[in-house]
Structure 1
Amino acid sequence: MHESLSIRVTTYALLAIFVFLVAVPLFWMVATALKSNKDLYEDFSYLPTRPTLQHFVRVITREDLLTNIRNSFVVATTTTAVTVVVSAFAAFSIVRYRYWGREWVGRLILFKYLLPTAMLFIPLYTIVVAMGLGNTLKSLMLTYLSFTVPFCTWMLMGYFRSIPPELEEHAMVDGCSKIGALFRILFPLSAPGIVASAIFSFTLAWNEFLLALVFTSDHTTMTIPIKLSMMVVGDQYIWGQLMAGAVLASVPIAILYFLAQRFVVQGLAAGAVKG
C-alpha cells in the first residue's frame, strides 16, 4: 500500500513538473503577444495589464504573415498526402510480403530517417536546381518526402504487425485479392495508425526550417518558420510581434492535435508495442 502510494505520488509529481515546463512557455508566448509595448518595455508585468491585439494586426497587415501560413499549409498538406500513400504501401510490402532483403530495407529506412538534414541539403539542393525548382513550394514538397516517408513507413510497419495476417487470409479465401484485402481489411483496421502517421508528417513538414531556409528566398515562397526568423533584424527582437506570429503559427497544429488526439494515442501505442 505504501509502495503504491509513493509510486503514485512520484508519478503525479513528475507529471506536474512536465505540465509546468510545457505550460509556462505557452503562457508566456500568449501573454507577451497580448501585451502593449509599454507593458513589454517600460512598465513590465507578468500579465498584460492592458490586453491588446495590435501585435496580431501588425503581423497580419504589415508582415503579411497569412501568406506564409498558407505556404506552410499547402506544403504540409501535399507532403502529408503523398507520404501517407507511399508509406502505407511500403510498410505493407515490407511486413506482409516475403522477399530477399526486406529486413535490410526496413533498417535502411530507419537509418535514412536518423540521418541529420544537414548532411542532405547540399545534394538535395543540387537536385532541386537541376530540376529547375529553386525558390518554389514544389521544391519543399519534394525534399520533405526525404524525412517524412521514412518516419511514417517505420511507424506503419509497427502498426501493420499488430494486425493478424489471418484476417487478410480469410478475406482472400472469400474471394478477395491481396490488394482487395489490403483496402478492405488492413487499411480500415489501421486507420488510427495511418491518421497518427499523417499528423506527425504534417507536423514535421510544418516545423521544418533548414531546407525551407535553403530552398526559398523571397516572401511569397517562405514558410512560417522562416518568416518568423526573418522578423528578427540584427539584435532587435520585436517580442510582441514575434510572439503574435508564434501564436498564429501554433493554432493549426493545436487544432489538428485536438481533433485527432485519440488516433495519435492509439497509433503510437500500437506501433510502439508491436513494432
Structure 2
Amino acid sequence: MTLITQPLVDEAPVATEPLRPRTRRRFRADKVGLYGLLVIAALTALLPLLWMLSGSLQSLTELLSNDTFLPSEPQWQNYVTAWVQGDLGTYLRNSVVYTGCAVAGILIVSSLAGYALARLDFAGKGVFTFIILAVMIIPAPAMFLAQYKLLISLGLTNNPVGYILILITSGIPMSTLIMRSFFVSQPRDLEEAAALDGAGPLRIFWSVILPLARPGLAAVAVIQGLGAWNEYLMALVLFDDNALMPIQRGLTAFTSAETPQQQILLAATTISIVPVVIFYLMAQRHIVKGIGAGAIK
C-alpha cells in the first residue's frame, strides 16, 4: 500500500520583474555649456604657446608679414642660432642650479616651520604668523635695497650663494602658510600611534607626516619653482658677471631695436620653458591631488 503525499501549501511561482530597457542619459545643456567653456579656456591658454612655437620656426619676413599662422618652411636653424648666439647653455645651467637649490631650501624650511605652526604650542605663535603675513604684503622690489646691503655686509655680492639665499627667503612666507594648512588637515591619531611605537618628533615628521603632505610639497615646488625660474630683477641688481646670470638674461640678447630678431627670441623663449614644462608634468599628479584635497576640506 503506497501513500501519496502532497504539499499542504501550494508553492506560488516566483514573479520575475521584466528587464527594463536601458535608457540613455538625458541631454543636459548645462554640461555641454560647461565643457564648451572649458574647451574655450584651454584653447585660450594654449594659443600663445602655439603662436610662439609657430613663430619660432618662421623667418623674420614671414613672421612680420602675418600672412599665415603656420610656417611655410620650418626654420630649425633659429633654435641653433638662439642657443649659440644667446649662450643659452650657460644661462640655462645657472637657472637650473638656482631654481633647484632654491626650491630644495624652501621645501625644507617651510615644511619644518609649517609643521611647527600646525602642531606645536609656543609663546608668540600668533605674532609669528602675523609677521609672516606682513612680510608677504611687502613688494619684492621694496626689499631690494635692504637685501643688497645685507649681502654686501656678508660679502655675498656677485655670488650665486647670495642669490640663492634671496630666492629662499623670498619664498618661505607663502610656502610656510601653504604647508601649515596641509599639516593641520592631517589626523593626530597617526602621530599618536607612531609615538606609542617609540618614534621621536623628527621620526614622526619625516616618516609619517611628510609623506602625507606630498601634494602640498608639489604645489609649493611648482609655485616657487616658477617664481625662481622667472626671477630677473634681483639677478640684474646683484650680478656684475654675465656668466652668473639666469636664463632670462639670455632672452634679452635678441631684443635690440637696431637688429630685430623676433623669430630668434621666440626660439630662445621656447627653449627656456622646456625645463619648466617637464617639471610641471612630473608633479602634475600630486598637484591635482592637492587641489582635490583642498576642495573637499
TM-score (norm 2): 0.84
Which SS does the other structure have where 1:220 is aligned? helix
Check conservation: 1:87, 1:153, Cα contact below 8 A: yes
Aligned to 1:226: 249
Q: CA deviation at 1:41?
A: 3.9
Distance across 2 between alignment mates of 1:43 and 1:111: 48
Distance across 2 between alignment mates of 1:215 and 1:104: 32
Check conservation: 2:254, 2:262, Cα contact below 8 A: no
* 2:238 equivalent among 215, 219, 230: 215
**One-letter amino acid matched to 1:174:** D
Check conservation: 2:86, 2:253, Cα contact below 8 A: no
Structure 1: 5+ residue stretches without partners? none
Residue 120 (structure 1) aligned with residue 154 (structure 2) = no
After TM superposition, list the pairs within 5 Å mapping 1:39-118 onto structure 2.
Answer: 39-41=62-64, 44-118=67-141
**Per-residue CA distance 1:50-77 (angstroms, 9 max, x = gap):** 0011111111112211111111100000
* The 10-residue stretch of structure 1 (58-67 or 247-256) with the greater mean CA deviation from structure 2: 58-67
Q: CA deviation at 1:273?
A: 5.6
What number of residue pairs does the alignment pair up?
A: 272
Distance verdict in 2 for CA 1:236–1:146, change over 3 Å = farther
* The 10-residue stretch of structure 1 (51-60 or 87-96) with the greater mean CA deviation from structure 2: 51-60
* The 10-residue stretch of structure 1 (249-258 or 95-104) with the greater mean CA deviation from structure 2: 95-104
* 1:134 equivalent among 132, 157, 180: 157
**Per-residue CA distance 1:177-214 (angstroms, 9 max, x = gap):** 22221122101212222233223222211111221222
Residue 152 (structure 1) aligned with residue 175 (structure 2) = yes
Q: Among the aligned pairs, what percent are the same residue?
A: 31
* The 10-residue stretch of structure 1 (190-199 or 219-228) with the greater mean CA deviation from structure 2: 190-199
Aligned to 1:239: 262
Distance across 1 between alignment mates of 2:258 and 2:114: 47
* 1:164 equivalent among 170, 176, 187: 187
Distance across 2 between alignment mates of 1:34 and 1:232: 18
Distance across 1 between alignment mates of 2:259 and 2:41: 32
**One-letter amino acid matched to 1:39:** E
Distance across 2 between alignment mates of 1:7 and 1:258: 31
Residue 205 (structure 1) aligned with residue 228 (structure 2) = yes
Distance verdict in 2 for CA 1:167–1:42, change over 3 Å = closer
Which SS does the other structure have where 2:225 is aligned? helix
Structure with the largest fraction of helix = 1
Q: CA deviation at 1:215?
A: 1.4
**One-letter amino acid matched to 2:242:** H
* 1:190 equivalent among 210, 213, 217: 213
Check conservation: 2:58, 2:75, Cα contact below 8 A: yes
Aligned to 2:13: none
Distance across 1 between alignment mates of 2:84 and 2:260: 19
Which SS does the other structure have where 1:149 is aligned? helix
TM-score (norm 1): 0.91
Distance verdict in 2 for CA 1:76–1:147, change over 3 Å = same
**Per-residue CA distance 1:98-138 (angstroms, 9 max, x = gap):** 12221332232233233211211111111122222222222
**One-letter amino acid matched to 1:267:** G
Aligned CA RMSD, in angstroms, stands at 2.1
